[in-house]
Structures are given as C-alpha cells and as structure tokens.
A and B are shown apart, each in its own frame.
Chain A
Amino acid sequence: MPGPAVSLLLVWMLLLSIGLQGIAMLEITQLVKRYGRNDPVLKGLDLTVEGNSVVSIVGASGAGKSTLLRCINRLIEPSSGSIKLNGDELSNLHGQALRQARRRIGMVFQGFNLIDRLTVMENVLAGRLGYVSFLQAWRRRFPQQDIERAFELMERVGIAQYANKRADELSGGERQRVGVVRALMQEPDILLADEPTASLDPVTSEQIMKLMHSLAHELSLPVLINIHNVAQARTYTERIVGLRHGHMIFDGSPAQFDKAALEEIYGGIEAPDETTASATAEEHHG
C-alpha cells in the first residue's frame, strides 16, 4: 500500500500530464486571404476545432479549402486574422519559431509529396526533420526512439515491409500511407489533410479515409480534411464545414448535411477558379 503522500504525488503527476497534454484546440478567427488586389479567397473565416474530432471541409474548387489549410501551417501567408493552436498565435511567427510551430501540425497532401528517390523509411523519418540537427538529418542518424516509432506506425498502417524500398515503387494507396505516417511522426497536435484521397481509386480512397478516421481516434488527434467526396465526408467525419466563395455557409453534423446544404455549397455560379490557381503558383515560386 502506498502512503497517502505517494498517492497524492501520483494523482498530482496524473493531473499534470493531462494538463500538459491538454485537449488540442485550433481557433481561427476572421481569417482573410487575398492575393494581390483580387477578391479575397477567404473572407473573414471563423472556425474552432476541439478534441479528437474529424472535421471535413467541403466546397467547390476555388472555394478556399486548400488556402484555408495552407494558412494554418503557413505554407500560404494569411492576409489578416488570427490562427491559434492550443492558445499560441501562429499567424505572426517567423524563422525558428515558425518551424517549431509547424512541427506540431501534420499535413497530408493530395499528391502525397513523398521524396520519390528516397526510401520509405527516409520518408517516414523526414517527419522528424523539425526535431533533429542538420548533421543528424544528413547522415540519417535519427534517435533510437524515432526509429522505434517509425516501425510501430508503419506496422500499424501495414507498410513496414517496404521500409527499404524506394517511395516511388509503391502503389498510390501505399504511398499515401507513407504520407500519413510521415505526418504522424511529427507527433502533431493536429493533422491537416488536403484532399488526401483525390489521386486514389475509389476502393483505396475508402481505405485511406477509414485509416485516417481510426488513427484520429487512437491518437486523440483532431483532423481537418478537405474532401470532394461528400459520401466519404458523411461516413468518416463527425462534422462537416461547407465553404463557398471564401465564406463558411454550413457547419454541422453529417446528419444535418442535407440536400439543401449540398446544393447551397456546390450550386449556383462557380467562384472564379483562376485566382487561387495562379496566386498559389506565385506563392510557390516567390
């Protein structure tokens, strides 16, 4: 029997660990993104995501879904507004501070964005690049616990046997699993997925959505998924956010997401597409 002091200490440590881990929370307020003098792509968006919920963001092309996700990890610079992750403001960070903030935000891409010519293991370990020194990264000398974690996650998603294969030898579904594992290697507080299944066949796409859904719950990780497939959004996510022309016009459960909401999001006149496309290209090469 432990003494009362010991049990008090244990309770205190338990509370502390919960307090430190906390419940992840993303708070976006009045987010505006404008390219040059064009009409803004995002027009004062408010969105709060808490706990381990999986949120899907639906909307026609050019509605601002991709811009929204990329503003969160600052692959795109927001024009104004605030983005807070667990209370820390992200929108004004630079250099080292920005890189450290990015470590806490995992991202899964539509085109996988793996390093084709490197092995699956190197791709997975690349998720730790924000944590290791340049020399460690260069010589591929990652800490032992990173390697353990890499194998565990790869086993969880069924790609451990490919560790030493080149990433471009894998099939689309396997490649996206590598993408997901790379993001999870960051030990992120939140996971962003930009149309993660759009380059996959219907069956594989279904598998990846299922995987992301169950991983989100296993790891108590909030996930934001941009998605075109409304049926998958209904099945695999707890909350649906509808964007149109840079405004949020729907926010509710899949049950509330009815035909009227769908028509409101996708119907009517399409937002001009080329503003986002050309401006994103500029951003990449700027």
Chain B
Amino acid sequence: MTPNSAVRQWRKPHFIASPWLRWGLILGVAAYLSWALATLPFDWERISQGIPRAARIFGGGFPPSFERYELLFSGFKESFQIALLATLLGVLLSIPFAVMAARNIAPRPIYLLGRAVIIVSRSFHPVIVAILFVKAVGFGPLAGILTLTLYSIGFVGKLLAEEIEEIDWGQVEAMRAVGASYLSTLIYAVFPQILPRQIGLSMYQLDSNLRASAVVGIVGAGGIGGTLMNAFGRYDYDFAFAILLVIIAVILVSEGVSGWVRRRVW
C-alpha cells in the first residue's frame, strides 16, 4: 500500500447516466410486455390441439421421400435459373444506380433520384413484390426474376453506393488532374476501389437470391417454392420434407462457395 492514499473504487459508468431515465425505461418496457401478453388472444385450447397436428405433419415427413426426384430436380433447376439471372441483372443494374446514389460523385438531383430508386426497391419484402409481379406478368419464373432483380438492385445498390462514398478521394483527384473525363475517372479511380466489395456483394446476393427464390415460388413466382407448396397442398409431407432437406443442403453449399470466393478477393 502506498502511503496517504485511501482505497479508490471504480465502477463502470452506466450506459444511461440518469437513474430516473434508466429505471423509467426498464419499467416501461416491462409494463408494455405484460400488457401485450395479457391482451393478445392466445387460445390455449387451440394451441394444445395444434401440437398433435404438428406432430402428425412432422411424422408424415419421415422418412423423406425422394421418389419424385424429377420434380425436385426441375424445381431446383428453375430456382437456380431465377436466382442466377436475377443476380446477374440486379448486380449489373445496381452499378449505375449506386453511382447515381453516391453523394461524392453524383450531382445533387441525380443523387436524390438514385437514392429514391434504391429506397423504393428496398421498401417491400420480396414476397410482396412477387405478389405484385405475379399479378402483373402471370405465374411463372418471369415474375420471380423481376422480383429478385429489384431486390438485388436495392440491396447491392445501397451498399455499393455507401462503398463509393468511402473511397480514397486522392485517386479521383489524381485522375481529374491528368484531365480524365468523368467516365474514365469512374473506371480508373472509382471501380477498382469498389471491386472487391462488388464481388463479395454479388456472391452474397446470389446466395440470398437462391434462398429468396424458394420463398417467392410459394406465391407463384416459379421455382422450387411452387413445388414445395404443391407438396404441402397434397399432404405429401414426405416429399415436402425431402424438398426442405435439399434446400438446406443447397444453401449450405452456396454459403460455403460464396464465403470461399469472398475470402479469395482482397
């Protein structure tokens, strides 16, 4: 012990400094939760009836049946096609929109337009967009492709625009100093800097589109989702279970591949 020093204590400061605000928030959340639980109509009788039904469905799924593998295969083939085409289209289209929506390289009116496009295409979940497109262009893979393209533009475009806003400005300055045009500056100073991110996002988007293509299929936009919906409708739980297993396997493989590709790009 050093002389003339009292024992000094230390506590980590609270995240919210004011005790009134801190306790007020905790009490408020607790009160809302208990009110929400009390007022939502949970029908315990129906839940207890539902459990054996769920058990029957899962029971019906065992053992999974791969008998109709042709249907399974053609469904997946269509899903792959939808996902691949939508990713390709979406990623290509996201580049101009990302350039438009980057504050540092787009003039103000163009920037606002670009942001607006991205915000609109991100506002709705793919399922809602799919319902609209199925109404507009009819059942089938075209609706799925359009849906996922729009979804990809929104997601990739937004992240790419943010990436452009964070580039090293010195490289742009250097291209301006040599007298390069706007387009040449874009392809020399901007695109090389965002390329790794672009590839990473495309891989991630392919992954995500594959998953989403199964979902939008349920509302009639083609692919394995439709096959799954039909299997459920006909109480073919063993076939439905087989489809689910293959979906899981495909997602695992695609995640592995996209992770590997993203690590390789530096």
Contact = CB atoms under 8 A, between A and B. Distances in A.
Interface size class of B (residues with CB under 8 A): 20 to 34
Interface in A175-205: 182-183, 186
Contacts of B185: 129
Contacts of B51: none
Given A75-B173, A113-B174, A137-B184, A130 B104 contact: no
Contacts of B192: 115-118
A114 interface: yes
Interface in A83-109: 99-103, 105-107, 109
Contact of B104 (A103, A117, A284): A284
Nearest to B177: A107
A99 B195 contact: no
A109 B174 contact: yes
B181 interface: yes
A170 to B, nearest CB: 15
B1 interface: no
B230 interface: no
A128 B11 CA distance: 62
Which of B104, B168, B170, B185 counts the most chain A CB atoms within 10 A?
Answer: B170
A115 B170 CA distance: 9
Nearest to A132: B184
A82 interface: no
A127 B178 contact: yes
Given A75-B173, A115-B171, A138 B179 contact: no
A49 B170 CA distance: 26
A186 B177 CA distance: 10
B193 A129 contact: no
B203 to A, nearest CB: 18
Nearest to A185: B178
A126 B175 contact: yes
A99 B188 contact: no
A103 B179 contact: yes
* Residue from B177, B179, B188 whose CB has the most chain A CB atoms within 10 Å: B177
A99 B180 contact: yes
| Residue with the greatest number of chain B CB neighbours at <10 A, chosen from A99, A122, A131 | A99
Given A115-B188, A285-B103, A285-B104, A99 B173 contact: no
B179 A99 contact: yes
A182 B178 contact: yes
A107 B172 CA distance: 13
A264 B120 CA distance: 60
B187 interface: yes
B91 to A, nearest CB: 18
A61 interface: no
A122 B191 CA distance: 14
Given A109-B173, A129-B175, A138-B187, A117 B181 contact: no
A73 interface: yes
B54 interface: no
A126 B180 contact: yes
A104 B193 CA distance: 27
Nearest to A99: B179
Contacts of B168: 113, 116
A73 B177 contact: yes
A131 B178 CA distance: 9
A107 B189 CA distance: 16
Contacts of A40: none
A134 B183 contact: yes
Given A118-B192, A285-B104, A109 B180 contact: no
B53 interface: no
B170 A186 contact: no
Contacts of B135: none
A254 interface: no
B169 interface: yes
Contacts of B196: 117
Contact of A137 (B170, B176, B188): B188
Contact of B179 (A115, A130, A134): A130
A115 B174 CA distance: 9
Interface in A108-160: 109, 111-118, 122, 126-131, 134, 137-138
A129 B177 contact: no
A186 B188 CA distance: 16
Interface of A: 73, 75, 99-103, 105-107, 109, 111-118, 122, 126-131, 134, 137-138, 182-183, 186, 284-285
10 contacts: A101-B179, A102-B177, A106-B177, A111-B170, A113-B170, A117-B195, A128-B178, A129-B184, A129-B188, A186-B178
- The 8 A-B residue pairs with the shortest CB-CB distance, nearest first, are A130-B179, A129-B180, A102-B179, A113-B174, A113-B170, A103-B179, A117-B192, A107-B177
